[in-house]
Amino acid sequence: MAQRIDPEVLRVELRYYIDNASDMELKELYAFVNSKNPTYEWWNDNEFVNELERRSADLKSGKDKGITLVESRARFDNLIDKVGKTAKENGLTEEELNRLLNDEE
């Protein structure tokens, strides 16, 4: 059975790959992504717009309590800790990880 990889870990590792790819690798990756993922116009996707409207209504009515900014920050910090540990296990230095997490060039 294939191991499930956390999507946030994939994002960090893909950023690392992109940052270190040759010009040819970047062109190939770009061509692949564009061939598989045409521009998505979410505002024309009725199912998606209906879902957004439903969630908004649930938040406004109190049916969905949402989460506070403090709770959101705690979840984010936990995720960053988790991503950092996995990235380090895969050979990223502390400096590389911080650069990726802070989206620095």
56: its two tokens? 């908004």
Q: Look at residue 2 in the predicted model and tell me its pLDDT.
A: 56
Model confidence over 55-94: pLDDT tens digits? 999 999 999 999 899 998 888 888 877 777 776 677 777 7
Domain ranges of the chain: 7-101
> CB neighbours of 74 closer than 8 A, spacing ≥ 6?
none
Residue 105 confidence (pLDDT) above 60: no
Residue 40 confidence (pLDDT) above 50: yes
Q: Look at residue 76 in the predicted model and tell me its pLDDT.
A: 85
Least confident among 5-19, 38-52, 86-100 = 86-100
% pLDDT > 90, the chain? 22
Q: Look at residue 49 in the predicted model and tell me its pLDDT.
A: 95
Q: At what angle do helices 69-89 and 7-20 cross, to 10 degrees?
A: 60
Q: Look at residue 57 in the predicted model and tell me its pLDDT.
A: 96
